[in-house]
C-alpha cells in the first residue's frame, strides 16, 4: 500500500504492503529518537492518523491537547528537541 507521501509499507507477516500499526510506529519512533519514551506520542499518533485520513486540520481541542502534552513534557524535564524528534520520526513512519 502506498501512503499519501508515496511511500510503501510492508506487512512483514505476508509480504504485502500495509500501514504500520500505531503501537509499532510509536516503538520505532522512540528508538529513532534516541529512546524518547513513546508515551509522548499517545495523543499525537491518533491525531496524525485522523488528519492523514480526513485531510482536516486539527481542531482547537486537539491543539490544546498537544500544548498540554508539551507543557507536561517540559515539567518532566523532557527537552523540546526530544519531543520534536520523536514526533517527526512518528510522522515519517506513519
Q: Which pLDDT tens digit goes with each residue over 9-32? A: 444 444 433 578 999 999 999 999
Q: Which residues, including other chains, have CB under 8 Å from residue 50's CB and lie 6 or more apart? A: 56
Alpha carbon dihedral 27, 94, 23, 85, in 10-degree steps, equals 40
Residue 20: per-residue pLDDT: 81
Cell numbers at residue 81, please? 528537541
Residue 6: per-residue pLDDT: 44
CA 47/CA 83 separation, integer angstroms: 15
What does pTM read for this prediction? 0.73
Q: What is the mean pLDDT of the chain?
A: 84
CA 28/CA 12 separation, integer angstroms: 15
Amino acid at each position: 500500500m502506498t501512503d499519501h507521501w508515496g511511500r510503501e509499507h510492508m506487512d512483514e507477516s505476508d509480504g504485502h504492503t500495509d500501514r504500520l500499526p500505531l503501537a509499532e510506529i510509536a516503538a520505532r519512533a522512540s528508538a529513532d529518537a534516541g529512546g524518547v519514551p513513546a508515551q509522548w506520542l499517545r495523543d499525537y499518533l491518533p491525531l496524525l492518523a485522523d488528519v492523514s485520513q480526513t485531510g482536516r486540520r486539527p481542531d482547537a481541542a486537539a491543539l490544546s491537547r498537544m500544548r498540554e502534552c508539551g507543557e507536561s513534557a517540559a515539567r518532566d524535564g523532557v527537552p523540546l528537541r526530544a519531543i520534536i524528534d520523536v514526533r517527526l520520526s512518528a510522522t515519517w513512519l506513519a
